[in-house]
Amino acid sequence: MKTTDDLTALAHDALATLGVPAEVLDDGPSALMARSPLTGGTLLGVRSADADAVERAIADAHEAFLAWRVTPAPVRGQLVKRFGELLRAHKETLADLVTIEVGKIRSEALGEVQEMIDICDFALGLSRQLYGRTMPSERAGHRLQEVWHPLGVVGVISAFNFPVAVWSWNTAVALVCGDAVVWKPSELAPLCALGCGALLDRAIAETGAPAGLSQVVIGGREVGELLVDSPLVPLVSATGSTRMGREVGPRVARRLGRSLLELGGNNAVVLTPSADLQLAINSIVFAAAGTAGQRCTSQRRLIVHESIVDDVVARLASAFDRLPVGDPFEPGTLVGPLVNERASDAMQAALAAVRAQGGEVVTGGERVDTGMGGVWVRPALVRVPEQAGIVLQETFAPILYVLTYRDFDEALALHNSVSQGLSAGIFTSDQGEAERFLAPDGADTGIANVNVATSGAEIGGAFGGEKDTGGGRESGSDAWKAYMRRSTNTINYSGTVQLAQGVDFSV
């Protein structure tokens, strides 16, 4: 069992291994104190960025962008290739920081770093595939084409629960697109950010890319606000709560900047009578209790057919009761800590609302004393009536609400009744139901799965959600287009003036 001193020593070793310069460590009055949810203890202080430092970081990134944008994209790809190699070599060390700062169990922390490696592989290939189109021109001797150009400095604001992967989705793609990146990580995970930044700086130096392409600015929302307001930041990619997105989106729009918003989820699985129940239960337990319910894609609602609900609840309760809660560094642990006391308060408030609204806590929800300090809870399985209002809100903790349905239309209506629209799943052997779930009038989410629950997306697809989730898409597929500007070109090689739409303007 690790103490705060052990974790501090481990964090120091990790930062040194990753090449974080000692001068960023700072115990002064304006420092941001990194802490660990494993013990609740303070680890070490890091220098936070004041307004001048943020302005300098943006200016340096912009300067680097001016050179980077004319570097051929396949050459830019060599930077993410090298970064991916460094991530492979330092996977364990970076995963240590993820576990120390946000409490992910070992395999999820390693998985998060693997996601970074995967997006580097993807971005390397993408660096040769930033395709534009050529269209037939209506004018003889003319050519019409679209090309994609680098956009500028991308401001990345990230949430605590994916302290390394979300930045890498943005950064690997932005770099091959010819952009520079200024990152404002969560105030709860500054060490992860410094570690990532140091590795990328090393890749930049080794490949001869312009210094300054990657900047990390440490601090709270006031630092994020400086990115949001900067005219030198054409795109702000912000990941976090819907509350944050409602502040950031309009503010960026006011200066006619672009924002890419990845916000809260309230994800559900529909469980039908024809489903393979064992497959479903195993998938649901991971989606609901994995990462201690602290994923944007965590499953929060289970919409189950009334004919199987008692059996399903009994099986889930038995699985929830057996979940090992404890030290995430221990190999057998499946549920680590909540990030802080505030998360536990939110969970208890939600469970109180469940009781007040006629629901029943079937099992879990209680604090677990691991002897380490920190905040630990047993994931809660809850039955609620259809009209319980608490189900409509995202509580960032492991609570699974069980609702029942009679016919499939009712299941779909319940599914789509929340304001968030991130991720969905259906478990069924009925192809008709599966297809309806994926149809235009089916699940209204950005991600919809069949016989796969809500969490654990791959990087190859575009990631993001609709409604209060913000509408952004990042990671794979054609999400790269958000990081570039499109230029439509008409080239006249005819030697004559021909106006579009047959307009005659002879002089």
Q: Which residue has the tokens 């739409």?
A: 501
Q: Is the dihedral of CA 313, 318, 321, 323 positive or negative?
A: negative
What would the x/- binding string for ligand NAD be over residues 139 to 178, using CB under 6 A? ------------------xxxxxx----------------
Taking the C-alpha atoms of residue 181 and residue 61, their distance in angstroms, rounded to an integer, is: 7
Taking the C-alpha atoms of residue 230 and residue 300, their distance in angstroms, rounded to an integer, is: 36
Rule CB under 6 A: choose which of 148, 286, 396, 408 binds ligand NAD: 396
Q: Please give the residues from 461 up to 490 whose contact with ligand NAD meets the rule CB under 6 A.
A: 469
Q: Is the dihedral of CA 24, 27, 28, 30 positive or negative?
A: positive
Give the shortest CB-160-to-ligand NAD separation in angstroms.
4
Tell me the pairing of strands 299-305 and 267-271. parallel
Taking the C-alpha atoms of residue 378 and residue 500, their distance in angstroms, rounded to an integer, is: 67
Give the shortest CB-29-to-ligand NAD separation in angstroms.
20
422 belongs to the binding site for ligand NAD (CB under 6 A): yes
State the Cα angle at 174 between 169 and 175, rounded to 5°: 110
* Catalytic-residue membership of 262: yes
Q: Please give the residues from 201 up to 230 whose contact with ligand NAD meets the rule CB under 6 A.
A: 220-221, 224-225, 228
What would the x/- binding string for ligand NAD be over residues 31 to 70, using CB under 6 A? ----------------------------------------
Q: Please give the residues from 429 up to 458 whose contact with ligand NAD meets the rule CB under 6 A.
A: none
Give the shortest CB-37-to-ligand NAD separation in angstroms.
13
Tokens found for residue 333 = 């642990």
Tokens found for residue 107 = 């395999």
Closer residue to ligand NAD in complex, CB, 224/374 = 224
Which DSSP helix (H) or strand (E) runs through 45? strand 42-46
418 belongs to the binding site for ligand NAD (CB under 6 A): no
Taking the C-alpha atoms of residue 229 and residue 121, their distance in angstroms, rounded to an integer, is: 32
Window contacting ligand NAD (CB under 6 A); options: 209-217, 235-243, 400-408, 434-442:
235-243
Q: Are 59 and 232 in contact (CB under 8 A)?
A: yes
Give me the catalytic one of 112, 196, 296, 474.
296
Taking the C-alpha atoms of residue 258 and residue 230, their distance in angstroms, rounded to an integer, is: 12
Q: Please give the residues from 289 up to 328 whose contact with ligand NAD meets the rule CB under 6 A.
A: 296
* Catalytic-residue membership of 330: no
Would you name the residues annotated as active-site residues? 262, 296
Q: Which residues bind ligand NAD (CB under 6 A)?
A: 157-162, 184, 186-187, 220-221, 224-225, 228, 239-241, 244, 247-248, 262-265, 296, 394, 396, 422, 469
